């Protein structure tokens, strides 16, 4: 069984380069000329102001959406405090029970 598989693989490897030479020669690609023109001059844009863009975006948010956004942003500080408190508590537990030593 094994010699038969090896024989088939050798036959495929030997005949595969022959099929590469039997392929037709590719034709050259057609070419076309492209008309290139100068682009018209653009108007100079107004300078970008991040403060104005932020104000314009925030003015689109009204009512309940604005309150939820503010509460989410301000709640982040409470999460940072709780995270620090948790880290201190775990560190104290490991230190005072001498597990970390």
Mean pLDDT for all residues in the chain: 82
DSSP per-residue string spanning 65-87: HHHHHHHHHHHHHHHHHHHHHHH
Nearest CA-CA partner of 51 in 59, 39, 43: 59
Residues 6+ apart with CB under 8 A from 93: 99
| Cα three-residue angle 29-35-39, rounded to 5 degrees | 135
- What pLDDT is attached to residue 11? 66
pLDDT tens, position by position, 21-53: 556 677 888 888 888 888 888 888 888 999 999
- What pLDDT is attached to residue 61? 85
pTM above 0.85, yes or no: no
- What pLDDT is attached to residue 39? 84
């Amino acid at each position: 069984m094994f010699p038969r598989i090896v024989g088939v693989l050798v036959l495929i490897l030997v005949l595969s380069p022959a099929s590469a030479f039997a392929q037709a020669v590719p034709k050259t690609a057609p070419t076309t000329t492209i008309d290139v023109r100068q682009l018209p001059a653009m108007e100079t844009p107004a300078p970008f102001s991040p403060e104005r863009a932020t104000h314009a975006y925030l003015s689109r948010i009204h009512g309940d959406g604005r309150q939820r956004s503010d509460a989410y942003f301000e709640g982040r500080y409470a999460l940072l405090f709780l995270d620090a408190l948790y880290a201190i508590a775990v560190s104290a537990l490991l230190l005072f029970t001498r597990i970390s030593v």
